[in-house]
């Protein structure tokens, strides 16, 4: 055993692919206790044939792990689950699962949190007031406004400055201070959690051809370049603003460790195009480790046994690796 506590895995939306991926991930990792997790979820959400055992504390997971999925007691769904059919009545249990997993990580009872996918629309119908996990976790951890969303894959790491807002709102939210905050948080995480002593950041332009010297927009001159100069005053290795359409080529990617992008899809389209199966969503800026698969609830295939567990397994492995970087043996 590594001496470190297991990772806490949340239930996610039980009507999505989370339950079947949880079973598949356990099956793939059951021989490696170092990657053990404890599920914060209703045991009834798991596939009927998934061996599981209810435990009272995360440290009891080790004794269960090779033979069954350890499931923390206390989380109950009030309504039956129909795969692929979101049900707002599941929201209280989904939210409770996340809150309990975060509390366990904050208490050091688990090494961090990996979240199974939620369906934002269904959860909002159930009274959830946040855009997604990222903002909710920041509130739960007492650091609202400090959260940063990174998507990390084998080929690329991306970090959008603005997250789950409309494109029009994202343009209004672009500020020098926000770009600086997000880049500083990314730089710190790459050093502490990813083992990169001298991280290199590349910052995307907003406009076509990065504004073409102002002919196609002024955000580069007015917002992005001032942010770059403040980051360089911090001693951060940062380049840009780069033309977004060419900064994700293999040649360009060789010159940086993370791309700071201006909005959600400017970051996530290249990441999911290149690394959908192994991409991981990592929340930076929290006092706890949190990762998540890069996909959603996939209601269109839930329950059919064809969902790929690769991204969840990558999320569990990255969370374990981050705990090792933070507390070397």
Whole-number Å distance between alpha carbons of 231 and 208: 23
Q: Given the rule CB under 6 A, which of 28-36, 138-146, 234-242, 292-300 is the region that contacts ligand NAD?
A: 292-300
Q: Given the rule CB under 6 A, which of 27-35, 90-98, 113-121, 140-148 is the region that contacts ligand NAD?
A: 113-121
Ligand-binding site membership of 264 (annotated): yes
Least distance (Å) from ligand 4TP to the CB of residue 276?
A: 10
Least distance (Å) from ligand 4TP to the CB of residue 279?
A: 8
Do 262 and 161 contact (CB within 8 A), yes or no?
yes
List binders of ligand NAD among 10-49 (CB under 6 A): 17
Residue closer to ligand NAD (CB basis): 278 or 323 = 278
In the chain, the N- to C-terminal Cα span, in Å, equals 11
6: DSSP letter? P
Asked if 292 touches ligand 4TP (CB under 6 A), the answer is: yes
Least distance (Å) from ligand 4TP to the CB of residue 310?
A: 14
Q: Which residues contact 179 (CB under 8 A, 6 or more apart)?
A: 161, 203, 223, 224, 227, 260
Ligand-binding site membership of 134 (annotated): yes
Do 165 and 298 contact (CB within 8 A), yes or no?
no
Ligand-binding site membership of 52 (annotated): no
Q: Of 296, 321, 324, 325, which lies in the binding site for ligand NAD, with binding defined by CB under 6 A?
A: 296
Helix (H, G, I), strand (E, B) or coil at 7: strand
Q: Which residues contact 328 (CB under 8 A, 6 or more apart)?
A: none
Whole-number Å distance between alpha carbons of 83 and 319: 27
Asked if 132 touches ligand 4TP (CB under 6 A), the answer is: yes
Which residues, listed in sequence order, are joined to residue 283 by a DSSP beta bridge?
149
C-alpha distance from residue 228 to each of 3, 171, 177, 292 (Å): 41, 18, 11, 29
Binding site for a divalent metal cation, by residue number, is: 164, 209, 264
Q: Applying CB under 6 A, which residues contact ligand NAD?
A: 17, 117-121, 133, 281, 292-293, 295-298, 300-301, 307-308, 311
Q: Applying CB under 6 A, which residues contact ligand 4TP?
A: 118, 132-134, 268, 281, 292, 294
């Amino acid at each position: 055993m590594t001496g470190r506590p297991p990772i806490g895995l949340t239930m996610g939306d039980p009507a999505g692919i989370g339950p079947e991926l949880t079973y598949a991930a356990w099956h793939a990792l059951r021989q490696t206790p170092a990657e053990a997790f404890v599920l914060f979820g209703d045991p009834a959400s798991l596939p009927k044939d998934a061996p599981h055992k209810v435990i009272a504390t995360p440290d009891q997971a080790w004794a269960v792990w090779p033979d069954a999925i350890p499931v923390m007691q206390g989380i109950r769904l009030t309504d039956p689950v129909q795969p692929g059919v979101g049900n707002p009545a599941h929201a209280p249990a989904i939210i409770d699962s996340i809150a309990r997993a975060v509390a366990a990580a904050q208490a050091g009872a688990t090494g961090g949190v990996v979240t199974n996918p939620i369906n934002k629309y269904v959860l909002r119908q159930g009274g959830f007031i946040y855009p997604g996990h990222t903002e909710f976790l920041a509130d739960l951890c007492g650091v609202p406004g400090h959260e940063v969303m990174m998507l990390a894959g084998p080929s690329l790491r991306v970090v959008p400055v603005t997250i789950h807002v409309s494109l029009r709102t994202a343009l209004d939210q672009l500020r020098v201070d926000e770009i600086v905050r997000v880049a500083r948080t990314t730089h710190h995480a790459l050093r502490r959690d990813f083992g990169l002593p001298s991280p290199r950041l590349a910052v995307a332009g907003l406009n076509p051809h990065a504004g073409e010297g102002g002919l196609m927009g002024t955000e580069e001159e007015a917002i992005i370049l001032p942010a770059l100069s403040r980051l360089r005053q911090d001693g951060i290795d940062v380049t840009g603003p780069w033309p977004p359409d060419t900064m994700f080529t293999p040649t360009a990617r060789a010159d940086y460790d993370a791309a700071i992008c201006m909005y959600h899809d400017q970051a996530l389209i290249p990441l999911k195009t290149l690394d959908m199966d192994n991409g991981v969503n990592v929340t930076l800026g929290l006092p706890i480790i949190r990762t998540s698969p890069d996909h959603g609830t996939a209601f269109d295939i839930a329950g059919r046994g064809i969902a790929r567990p690769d991204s969840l397994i990558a999320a569990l492995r990255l969370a374990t690796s981050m705990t090792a970087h933070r507390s070397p043996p």
